[in-house]
Structure formats: C-alpha cells, structure tokens
Structure 1
Amino acid sequence: MRHLFFILFLSFFTFQANSQGKLEKAEKGLSQNNNYYSSAPNSRTSSSSSYEDNSLWGGLAMVFIEIGLYATYYGLIESPTEKEHRASEAFITKYPYHSSNRGNYAYNWDGDTNLSRITLTNRFIAENNELYGNHINADFRFLKRVSIEADYLQLWENNTFFGDNSLATFTFLAKYHRVRTEKFNAYWGMGGTYIAGDVEELGFTYGIGAEYFFAKPLSLELNYNQTLINTRSSDKLNLSLNYHIDRFKVTGGYEYLRIGGVGFSTFSVGIGVFL
C-alpha cells in the first residue's frame, strides 16, 4: 500500500511539472531563451590557408549570387515575353464578378475597374471547444500590381486543467501581385510579424498566395506566410472557398497554424467586403 501511494504521488508530481496548454507551449517555443545556437561550439582554430580558401569560395559564391539575382528578376517581377501579354497592364476590378466573369483583374478599363480597392475580411476560427480565435485582415490594392496587407490574429484557450491563455499576432506585408489574369492571380510579399503575449518579439515574414475564380460566383483562395523568430518559425496556411455576393463574400475553409513548434488545425468561417 505504501508503494502504491508513492507511485501515485510521483505520477501526479510529474503530470503537474510537464502539463501546459498548447498556447503556453507555443509561446515558450518562440521565447528568446529557447535559442538553439546558444550552445554552438566556438570555432576560432581555423588556419590561414583555410581562411584563404574560404575567401576564394566566398568570392565565387558572390558572383553566382549576383547572376542568380539578375536571373530571378524575370521570375519575381516580369519577363520580356509577359510584357507583351494583356495581363501586364491588367486593371484592378471594383470587386470580383462585378458584371462579368472576371476576378480581381480585368484586361480592359471599363465599368468593372477601379484605380484602387480595399478588402476587409473577418473570420472566426476554432480547433475545438477549448481553442478558438478571430482573424481580421485588411488589404489595400493599388498601382495595378501592388498591395499592403495588415493582419490581426487573436487566439484564446480555455482549458479546465491548465487554465486560460491567449496569444495575438500582428502581421504587415507589402505584396507584389506577380500573376494578374482575369481568372487567376498570385502574389509574393515580405514584411514583419509581432507576436504579443509572453513572447513580445518581432520577426521577418514572407508570404505567397493565389486565388482562382473557377466559376461564378465562386473562387478558391490559398495564402501562406512564415515568420522567423529566435531560430524558430511561426507559420500560417489558409485554404478557403469564397462565395461572392455583389460587394460581399462569404468564406469558409481550413486554417493551419504552427507557432513555436506547436500545430493548430482549425476550421474557419467568415465574411468579407470590397470597398
């Protein structure tokens, strides 16, 4: 009986020491003191010959990097062949399916198009009854192929055993819309994300995304971005089906979040408006 009591006591102590909610694990995974490089060995014993070899290879690497940067310009911005296509000068539509089957862009300037556009979207996301959140996004599109996006994500966790917790992220992206056809568009972007709560860190963010208007009034949208903080990453992947009704859209789909090594698989539903 004494041995049984000791085992139960030890199990309870171990459970209390290791137990924590998913949001708390995510915050600790991104915290500054969880730096994988802190224990890296100090390599100051390289000889002068190896230094010269490194300098030689470093110089060659810089040459290839410069060549690569010039070559990728056509991939990131526009190739000479694409400049001859009508999509090169495509205009922003007032909103998708305004009076035709066109999506975010139109080849001709007419009653469907505008110089700029703002899209506001609000989505409720939930993994289960204990973990849920709200996702607000604002996108300002202008100059035909450029947009600025502000994104706010708030998560809450109400756990019977581990208590309540919350986590908020603020993301800012400058986006370049690389592909601009009347049925399909795609972008890449760069910016930053601030993660609040116990983390309170700012990290570099890059993102990619696309939207395909396959049949009026529907579109399929995909967005992904990754933020690098303290050698760890925060990832957001959103796949949604949009139903367009005049200036509004009803959206629903799947949203995957990975924060500090902890994954969150959520379903989302929301509404958007084009201004």
Structure 2
Amino acid sequence: MKHKILAIVVLLSLQTALFAQKIDKSKNELKSNNTSTSTTSTTTNSSNTSRSASNSNNHFGIGGFFLELFFYTGLYTTIGDYRTETHLYNNLSSYPYADGASGDYVKINDVSESKNNMRFDFENHFLYSTSSSFGNHFKAKWHPFQFFYIQGDYRVLVEKNQFTNSLSNLQLYHFSIAYDRLRFKKFNLGWTIGSSYIASDVNKAGFSYGLHTAFFAFKNMSFTSAMQWSKINGKPVNSFEFKGKYHKKNYFFSMGYENLKIASPNYNYLTLGGGLYF
C-alpha cells in the first residue's frame, strides 16, 4: 500500500514538474526555425503561366465581375453601409449604463445621454490556473470617437517549477486597431487587426486579427468575449476570453475565463479583476 501511495505522489510530482515547463516549451518552439523546403519545376510553371495568360484574356470580364462582387461584399461585411445603417452613427456613451439602459453606444435620438467624442477604457485581470501557474492581463482602449478605437493588451504568464522553485515567465503583447461593425444600445460586435509580439528572450512579432462582442443583458451587467489569432515564426499565438462584468458608475468588477494557445501548449485561466472608464 505504501508503495502505491509513493508511486502516486511521484507521478503527481512529475506531472506538476512537466506542467511547469509549458512556458519554456512555448518559448523554445517560437524561437526554433522552420526547416521545411519545397521543390518546384520551373519548366512546368512557365508552361502553365503561358497557358493561364492566354486563358485570362478570355475570362477577364467574368473575373472582373466576381472581383468587384467580392470587394463590395467584403466592404459591407467589415465596414457597413453608412447610407442606410443608422446604428453606425450611434454616439459613444460616457460609460456603460450611464443612462441606465445603454451599453457602449447610445442612439443618436436619445437625449438622455450627451454626446461623447472620446473615451479611455482600462482594465486589469489576475489570471489563475494553479498555485504554480498564474499571470496578469492588462488592457487599454482609446476611443477618439465612436467610429473606431485603438487597443493594447499586455499579458505576463508565470510558472513555478516545484522541484527547483525557479520561475519561468512569458510576456505577450497585442497592438490593434478595432472597429465595431454593429453598434446597438444592448449589443456591439466588431473586429481587430494589428500585431502580436512576444518578449522574454523570444523577441518575435507577427500579424494578428480578431473578433469581439459585448452584450449588455440587463441593468449593470454585461458579458464580453474576444478572440485573437496570430502566428509568430509559423507557430500559433491565439487567445480567447469571456467575462461577466458588474458595472457601477464609471468602473466595473468582473470574473471570467481565458484560454491561450502559444505554440503547441495550451493555457487555461480563471480571471478576476476590474476596470475604469474615463
């Protein structure tokens, strides 16, 4: 019986030690170079190019039509039609529930909330997975007006090796331009585009894009989610977050969940924090 208990303790200790090395694994994978190569036949490519050139003249009209259709469809999906969609002109609120009913945006015909042309949002959340795996997530947004805003995310992840008591850390940055495609009193949805950067001896950057939503369900309560996808040195650097927020005047308290995929390791955290609106 004692041998079984000892074996279980050793197994759990090994699992904890392996878990504590996830950050180092992410960093090592992000620093490694891709060595895959591909070979192509230049003769075949040149012959195919000549054939495609002759065929393109015959199908230019059809291709141009579909290219134009794709352009306008993409423009409507990402930006919207300011000639017909009045919600795109909704004013930015001073802070959620400032008028007792609206979230980030107030209807243009709503006189209960004065026009607001600029807003700063700050929030900070403690990330917790286990006693040996935790971190912090700071987010800042600058709304110069209601049409778009600039966002920055800074995460620091920490893991402790239970055997050596050494700490491993990873610092992840996201810098984005964000646009809300839908701007209603109770719901907004939009996208982000920008870059990601990992410090902590990795010092590599990549292109990033994402989606975000906010649902102002009932007075003083909202639910938000955000997803960002990126690749650094050919490896995924993705994030997902979901939070429930309780708003009180120009500040809020929140709890939620975050998932990060940095190279092959996955990180799951419970979050606790709050924020301010100025």
Q: Classify the TM-score, shorter chain.
A: 0.7 to 0.9
Q: Map 1:112-261 onto structure 2 (within 5 A).
A: 112=113, 113-161=115-163, 163-261=166-264
Unaligned runs of 5+ in 2: 1-13
**Are residues 56 and 30 of structure 1, via their aligned partners in 2, closer, same or farther at CA, if it must alter by over 3 Å?**
farther
Is 195-204 or 161-170 further displaced after alignment?
161-170
Give, in whole Å, the separation in 1 of the partners of 2:178 and 2:53: 36
Give, in whole Å, the separation in 2 of the partners of 1:265 and 1:57: 52
Q: What letter corresponds to residue 39 of structure 2 in structure 1?
A: N
What is the TM-score of this pair, normalised by structure 2?
A: 0.84
Secondary structure, in 3 states, of the residue corresponding to 1:127? strand
Q: What letter corresponds to residue 224 of structure 2 in structure 1?
A: E
Give, in whole Å, the separation in 1 of the partners of 2:90 and 2:51: 50
Question: Quick check: 1:22–1:262 contact (8 Å CA) kept in 2?
Answer: yes
Q: What letter corresponds to residue 217 of structure 1 in structure 2?
A: N
Q: Map 1:22-171 onto structure 2 (within 5 A).
A: 22-33=22-33, 35=34, 38-47=35-44, 48-53=46-51, 55=53, 63=64, 64-79=66-81, 83-108=83-108, 110=111, 112=113, 113-161=115-163, 163-171=166-174
How far residue 56 of structure 1 moved from its aligned partner, in angstroms, is 6.3
How far residue 265 of structure 1 moved from its aligned partner, in angstroms, is 0.8
**Are residues 44 and 176 of structure 1, via their aligned partners in 2, closer, same or farther at CA, if it must alter by over 3 Å?**
same
Q: What letter corresponds to residue 124 of structure 1 in structure 2?
A: F
The residue number in structure 1 matching 2:11 is none
Among all aligned residue pairs of Structure 1 and Structure 2, give the percentage whose two residues are the same amino acid.
26
Q: What letter corresponds to residue 223 of structure 1 in structure 2?
A: A
Give, in whole Å, the separation in 2 of the partners of 1:267 and 1:193: 22
Give, in whole Å, the separation in 2 of the partners of 1:222 and 1:31: 30
Give, in whole Å, the separation in 1 of the partners of 2:160 and 2:235: 25
Give, in whole Å, the separation in 2 of the partners of 1:65 and 1:197: 43
Question: Quick check: 1:95–1:274 contact (8 Å CA) kept in 2?
Answer: yes
Give, in whole Å, the separation in 2 of the partners of 1:55 and 1:262: 45
The residue number in structure 2 matching 1:9 is none
Question: Quick check: 1:28–1:260 contact (8 Å CA) kept in 2?
Answer: no
Is 19-28 or 142-151 further displaced after alignment?
19-28
1:250-269 CA distance string (max 9 Å, x none): 01101000001110011001
**Are residues 46 and 231 of structure 1, via their aligned partners in 2, closer, same or farther at CA, if it must alter by over 3 Å?**
farther
Q: What letter corresponds to residue 227 of structure 1 in structure 2?
A: S
Q: What letter corresponds to residue 248 of structure 2 in structure 1?
A: I
What is the TM-score of this pair, normalised by structure 1?
A: 0.85
Q: What letter corresponds to residue 96 of structure 1 in structure 2?
A: P
RMSD of Structure 2 on Structure 1 (CA): 2.4
Give, in whole Å, the separation in 1 of the partners of 2:26 and 2:70: 36
Question: Quick check: 1:126–1:133 contact (8 Å CA) kept in 2?
Answer: yes
Unaligned runs of 5+ in 1: 1-14
Secondary structure, in 3 states, of the residue corresponding to 1:192? strand
Is 64-73 or 129-138 further displaced after alignment?
64-73
Question: Quick check: 1:146–1:177 contact (8 Å CA) kept in 2?
Answer: yes
How far residue 45 of structure 1 moved from its aligned partner, in angstroms, is 4.4
The residue number in structure 2 matching 1:11 is none
**Are residues 58 and 41 of structure 1, via their aligned partners in 2, closer, same or farther at CA, if it must alter by over 3 Å?**
farther
**Are residues 76 and 58 of structure 1, via their aligned partners in 2, closer, same or farther at CA, if it must alter by over 3 Å?**
farther
Q: What letter corresponds to residue 117 of structure 1 in structure 2?
A: R
Secondary structure, in 3 states, of the residue corresponding to 2:275? strand
Give, in whole Å, the separation in 1 of the partners of 2:150 and 2:248: 24
Is 157-166 or 257-266 further displaced after alignment?
157-166
